Amino acid sequence: MPFIGAAIVGAIGLSGFVATATSALINLGVAAGLSYLSRSMLGATATAETGIKTDITLGGNQPRGCIFGETGTAGQFGYWNTANENLNYLQAIFILGEGPHEDLTRIWVNGKERTLTLTASTAWSKTYRVSGFATESGVPVLYVDFYFGYEDQPYDADLVSWAKPPERWTSADRLAGVCYAKVRAFYIDTAFDTGSIPTFLFGVKGRRLYDWRKDSTNGGSGAHRWSDAHTWEYSANPIVQLYNFQRGLTLGGELIVGMGVPPIDLRLDMYTAAANVCDTLVADPDGVMGPAFACSTIVSANEEYGSVIQRLLDSCAGSLYERVGAYGPIAGAPQSVVYPTITDGDLVVGRPVKFTAKLSRADLINGVFGSYVSPDDQYQMVSYPARTDSGAEAEDTEIRRIQQDEPTITSPGMAQRLAQIRLKLARLQATATITLGFRAIVLEPGDWVRWNSARYGDRTYIILSLTQNTDQTVTVNLREIAASAYDWTAGDELPAGDPGIEGDTSGLATGVTGFSLSALTLTGAGGAKTPAIRVFWSPISDPTITAVLIEYRIAGTTDALSISTSSVGNGEYLISAGLVPNTSYELRATIVTVPVRATEWTDWSTVSTGEQLAAGVVPNSITPAQMTAATR
């Protein structure tokens, strides 16, 4: 039986290799892209893009892009071909990204993970055998060839020799600069349960990138060279990714992804320091060492620069600053205070001092929860254990929690570290604006300073921004900071819960409270009467609760109907459709949460419905309920 019939081909509408993806870059000029300077430490997490693309894309007008780090993708369906006498030999190409990528790590076929076994390797590609697909005698029938994506990679001889007609794929079709997976399979009834093309999800270690720290001609040590992608290596370091994105990745001299910033406009010393922070080894509870920060995401050429940069910085709790016309990042780690301690005597007399010790109540945070990308769950978003601060809850006299999803993080421990940093930074609430004398001209955004004030206290601050005034004074905007905000040990990591279940639900509601029922009769035009049940619960303000789910059934039965309402803050809901009059009902309720966590149903409560009367029926007339069963 063939893999693809004429009807399927016609429906898909494909013919040969899909045309080269559009080279149009984002509708944002370089100057506008460079205006991205910094972000607030408490700013919203970017969620425009996740770390995965599980839906296959079709057509030749897809934006160009690549994979940073390791993530999952269904790819872009680029080419198919069936050959052999019975059309039972399939060749299919799935485009994964542009430029050299590292490797194929995992594969799911029709939703089930299969084992990859390396059978061959060249300078341009690797060949894997996929487990679970073989003849009765054990001969494998499913293979994947992974092409790295170098510009000088050769053509695939198998595609040329089996092309029908021959000109459909020739030796000129090299897919230069394109990383792709070529699936090849023989259809065997005992191996495949369907005659259509199987669905695939690929786990991919992404782009090989230039690391200046490994370039002996650029202040580093090693063979990396910006002009030769063959010298580059795979990196999940978000600062290395940031540097490559800002400089811009090219193919054939054409910018395909990134900004095209000249290297002179990038402060290499700051990139080095931040990249080293990300590479710092951190132990998990089992003693396994891993980098402090890593980023896994798919970068597309049709995204705004700021969206991509924000994603990369969020992966390392970092910020990007402009310093004397050049850009430099700072990753999430303590900075040294090198400027002399500022005292009240250093403030310029006559200039206003603005100081706020506390955030407004609306901005208070004492807990962080959210989701991360789980490779073991086909790269879907699942919950990481929430980070909470009971002392802060007592200080705030209420629970104030925010959702911080980590769509670029594939480790629950790393997601927890980022949430913990966010929580600790939120508790450092003081902000100030002061003006200093000429010697402060050496200060730059991102620097840490100490201000020991007799009136406002002794605190460490980070400089968010500064202005050099015409009278040779410097006005600085400060936010409280502390090295302790970045403290983390292996013992701080909480065990990851089951996929989709939040690991720490302390303080979070697991169900509705104040659940009660009331029967009533609705009166309409012409004297019509309809039985109804009003359901009550305590109004809900928790933003993680998205709906109240209600089940109801006739007492004594087991088949229940369900209905939900997103108006959780109303504290009540009216059920009237389809109720049987003068009948005893049982109802219960629970909550629906995002992200998902363990919840509980209330006990079943009982209520009896009232009468039902059609419009125009004379009051006190005989109703069907008053008749005998035979009469009815």
Domains, the chain, in order of start with CATH, read: 6-26+56-206 (no CATH), 208-330 (no CATH), 342-376+385-492 (no CATH), 516-608 (2.60.40.10)
Helix pair 268-279, 238-247: axis angle to 10 deg? 150
pLDDT in the model for residue 613: 73
pLDDT in the model for residue 135: 87
Measured in Å, how far apart are the chain's first and last C-alpha atoms? 61
How many C-beta atoms surround the C-beta of residue 454 within 10 A? 9
- Check pLDDT > 50 for residue 29: no
Contact criterion met (CB below 8 Å) for 214 and 233: yes
pLDDT tens for residues 200-217?
Answer: 999 999 999 999 999 999
Contact criterion met (CB below 8 Å) for 574 and 536: no
pTM, to two decimals: 0.74
DSSP state of 265: G
- Check pLDDT > 80 for residue 500: no
Least confident piece of the model among 79-88, 223-232, 385-394: 79-88
d(CA 40, CA 464): 8
Contact criterion met (CB below 8 Å) for 405 and 545: no
Does an H or E element contain 113, and which? strand 112-114
- Check pLDDT > 50 for residue 326: yes
Average pLDDT (423-450) is 95
pLDDT in the model for residue 506: 52
**What's the alpha-carbon Rg for the chain, to the nearest Å?**
31
pLDDT > 90 in the chain, percent: 66
The residue to which tokens 């936010």 are assigned: 479
- 364 Cβ partners below 8 Å, 6+ apart? 396, 400, 426
The phi, psi pair for 69, rounded to 5°, reads 75, -160
Quickly list DSSP for 529-585: EEEEEEEE------TTEEEEEEEEEETT----EEEEES-TTT-EEEE-TTPPTT-EE
Does an H or E element contain 80, and which? strand 76-83
How many C-beta atoms surround the C-beta of residue 158 within 10 A? 16
Q: Which two tokens stand for residue 249?
A: 């990745």
Nearest to 155 by CA among 137, 174, 139, 182: 174
pLDDT tens for residues 562-594?
Answer: 898 999 999 999 998 889 999 999 999 999 987
| Residue of 344 and 33 predicted with greater confidence | 344
Q: What are 457's strand-pairing partners?
A: 453
3-class SS at 291? strand
Contact criterion met (CB below 8 Å) for 613 and 528: yes
pLDDT in the model for residue 84: 85
pLDDT in the model for residue 507: 61
E strands, 375-509, are: 380-388, 401-403, 431-436, 448-453, 457-468, 474-481
**Confidence class of residue 616 from pLDDT cuts 50, 70 and 90?**
low
d(CA 271, CA 276): 8
Contact criterion met (CB below 8 Å) for 58 and 78: no
**Confidence class of residue 489 from pLDDT cuts 50, 70 and 90?**
very high
Quickly list DSSP for 51-73: S-B-S-B-SS-PBPEEEESEEEE
d(CA 604, CA 125): 61
Compute the mean pLDDT over every residue in the chain, rounded to the nearest whole number: 85
HSE-up (13 A, CA, CB side) for residue 516: 5
3-class SS at 181? strand
Quickly list DSSP for 343-379: EGGGBPTTS--EEE-S--GGG---EEEEEEEEGGGTT
pLDDT tens for residues 142-198?
Answer: 999 999 999 999 999 999 999 988 999 999 999 999 999 999 998 877 677 655 678
Exposed, middle or buried, 381 (CB in 10 Å: 0-12/13-18/19+)?
A: buried
DSSP state of 513: -
pLDDT in the model for residue 323: 79
pLDDT tens for residues 502-525?
Answer: 444 456 788 999 999 999 988 877
pLDDT tens for residues 89-120?
Answer: 899 999 999 999 999 999 999 889 999 999 99
pLDDT tens for residues 243-273?
Answer: 999 999 999 899 999 999 999 999 999 999 9
- Check pLDDT > 60 for residue 501: no
Distances (CA, A) of 343 to 353, 464, 468, 474: 13, 19, 20, 15
**Confidence class of residue 20 from pLDDT cuts 50, 70 and 90?**
very low
Average pLDDT (36-43) is 32
Contact criterion met (CB below 8 Å) for 243 and 218: no
CA angle at residue 368 from 362 to 371, to 5 degrees?
130
- 402 Cβ partners below 8 Å, 6+ apart? 365, 367, 368, 369, 543
pLDDT tens for residues 293-309?
Answer: 999 999 999 899 999 99
| Residue of 608 and 526 predicted with greater confidence | 608
Q: Which two tokens stand for residue 377?
A: 């769950």
Average pLDDT (3-7) is 38
d(CA 385, CA 416): 7
Distances (CA, A) of 202 to 78, 98, 103, 269, 295: 15, 15, 10, 37, 18
d(CA 260, CA 276): 24
**Confidence class of residue 399 from pLDDT cuts 50, 70 and 90?**
confident
pLDDT in the model for residue 622: 66
How many C-beta atoms surround the C-beta of residue 18 within 10 A? 19
The residue to which tokens 């997601």 are assigned: 415
Average pLDDT (339-354) is 96
Alpha helices in 172-329 (DSSP H): 238-247, 268-279, 305-314
